[in-house]
Amino acid sequence: MTEKIKKENIVIVGGGFAGVKAALFLSKYSNFFNITLISETDNLRYYPLLYKFATGANQVLVSIPLTKIFQNKKIKIVHGSIASLDRSTKSIHLVDNQTFNFDKLILALGVVTNYFGIDGIEDYAYSIKSEAEAMKFNRHLHDYLIANHQPDDHYVVIGAGPTGIELAAELPEYLRYLMKIHHLGRHAIKVEIIEALNQLLPRLPKPYAQRISKKLISIGVSLKLNSKVISQNDSEITVNDQTIKSKTVVWTAGVANHPFYKANNFLITQHGKIACDIFLQAEDNIFIAGDNANTPFSGLAQTALHDGQSIAENIVRNHFGYQMKAYKPKNIITVIPVGPKFSAVLWGKKKFYGFYGSVMRHLADIDGYMNVLPWYSALALWLKYFHRRPQTCPICQSTNGQN
């Protein structure tokens, strides 16, 4: 009589890049594992194009339904939010009181926005960290123009990281498009990036950052470095000792690790990440992936995908009695779009800029989609990126601001 091998319960929490990648890999071994993916959102949020969605692109580019990703895969998808971990019973509890027992747990909860307690920012600044936030910001850009027949005095983007740069660089063209289809005439547009440090992209090489600064200035985006946001109210923002009139302030300047970890007594490093061993385990059989893990390139989608894959491979190895392999960080390629037809690429020591950079960026996006979708679905989705802007307003369905 053959002995039936017990299937291992793998519980993955977080339906982002890391969680999805791990689940996809493990689904190939569904005869050996019961796989449960628990996530607060029903979609994989494709963050790299959120700035595009905030400036008028189609939502399908940034929201990929988990049901589509896991179509025909033996994965149980649960909509829910993790509340606590019970180490003694190897179980997790969700906010709605459901309990899941695990043999192995993968946690990939992503990060949350951090406003550093700056007065008024959380109440008055926009953010683009979710589809809902990006949509709200997009609606505001439109509604302000229609109500005032002219642009805001200043469009202020706080934070000169990749997200702040990408968004700020896209704004002049998008606002001109909105003004054109609503026949509002030509108006000057003032977009400013505010950065507390003395350089944009401080973790990247200076010449690369300088080239991006030059490009930003050439498309009309000004940079205020060494500038600390002090407070914001409904009509202005105070930066150092100067007041800037604006109803359009976007916060892209800070994130913090997910509060679940602190609440559940994980060891947190001085960088705010979760301490892990060489297999990305915070504790035996509890793996940490993506933005949460203390790895050299944490904070990038490419890293999160790599983490999810590495952890899943080790879980399979371990199941079949092989040694797990030590985690090796993946070298990353940085590609930052600065306006619709220019991207800055940093690939090891090589740097290149402009149209070829944009081609690289498009290739990176199709690769991102292909990591989670079959190639034909990834290609179909990616092609939607190239849709031309409609001449009828996608928000108010009019060419003159009237419904």
Q: Using CB under 6 A, which of 16, 56, 159, 357 touches ligand FAD? A: 16
Quick check: 145 binds ligand FAD (CB under 6 A)?
Answer: no
Quick check: 115 binds ligand FAD (CB under 6 A)?
Answer: no
Quick check: 19 binds ligand FAD (CB under 6 A)?
Answer: yes
Q: Using CB under 6 A, which of 12, 106, 118, 128 touches ligand FAD? A: 128
Residues whose CB is less than 8 angstroms from the CB of residue 390 and which lie 6 or more positions away in sequence, other chains included: none
CA dist 319 and 7 (Å) reads 10
Nearer to ligand FAD, 105 or 181 (CB): 105
Q: Using CB under 6 A, which of 36, 39, 138, 371 touches ligand FAD? A: 39
CA dist 193 and 334 (Å) reads 20
Pick the stretch among 17-25, 26-34, 223-231, 265-273 that binds ligand FAD (CB under 6 A). Answer: 17-25
Paired tokens of 83: 């509340």
Pick the stretch among 15-23, 276-284, 374-382, 386-394 that binds ligand FAD (CB under 6 A). Answer: 15-23
Quick check: 38 binds ligand FAD (CB under 6 A)?
Answer: yes
Pick the stretch among 210-218, 300-308, 339-347, 371-379 that binds ligand FAD (CB under 6 A). Answer: 300-308
Q: Using CB under 6 A, which of 41, 58, 91, 150 touches ligand FAD? A: 41
Pick the stretch among 33-41, 116-124, 194-202, 379-387 that binds ligand FAD (CB under 6 A). Answer: 33-41
Q: Is the dihedral of CA 319, 322, 326, 329 positive or negative?
A: negative
Quick check: 47 binds ligand FAD (CB under 6 A)?
Answer: yes
Quick check: 164 binds ligand FAD (CB under 6 A)?
Answer: no
Give the nearest distance from C-beta 215 to ligand FAD in angstroms: 17
CA dist 214 and 221 (Å) reads 10
Quick check: 108 binds ligand FAD (CB under 6 A)?
Answer: yes
Q: Which of residues 342-371 bind ligand FAD (CB under 6 A)?
A: none
Q: Output the residue with the shortest Cβ distance to ligand FAD.
A: 16
Number of residues that bind ligand FAD (CB under 6 A): 32
Give the nearest distance from C-beta 322 to ligand FAD in angstroms: 26
Pick the stretch among 108-116, 188-196, 233-241, 347-355 that binds ligand FAD (CB under 6 A). Answer: 108-116
Quick check: 250 binds ligand FAD (CB under 6 A)?
Answer: no
Q: Which of residues 182-211 bind ligand FAD (CB under 6 A)?
A: none
Give the nearest distance from C-beta 331 to ligand FAD in angstroms: 13
Cβ 307 vs Cβ 284: under 8 Å: no
Quick check: 109 binds ligand FAD (CB under 6 A)?
Answer: yes
Strand 286-288 and strand 33-39: the pairing is: unpaired
- The residues that bridge with 256 in the sheet, in sequence order, are 112
Quick check: 151 binds ligand FAD (CB under 6 A)?
Answer: no
Q: Using CB under 6 A, which of 25, 137, 260, 353 touches ligand FAD? A: 260
Q: Closest Cα to residue 27, out of 395, 400, 381, 316? A: 316
Give the nearest distance from C-beta 23 to ligand FAD in angstroms: 11
Q: Using CB under 6 A, which of 11, 12, 18, 209 touches ligand FAD? A: 18
Quick check: 110 binds ligand FAD (CB under 6 A)?
Answer: yes
Quick check: 291 binds ligand FAD (CB under 6 A)?
Answer: yes
Residues forming the site for ligand FAD (CB under 6 A): 13-19, 38-41, 47-48, 50, 81-82, 108-110, 128-129, 162-163, 258, 260, 290-291, 299-302, 304
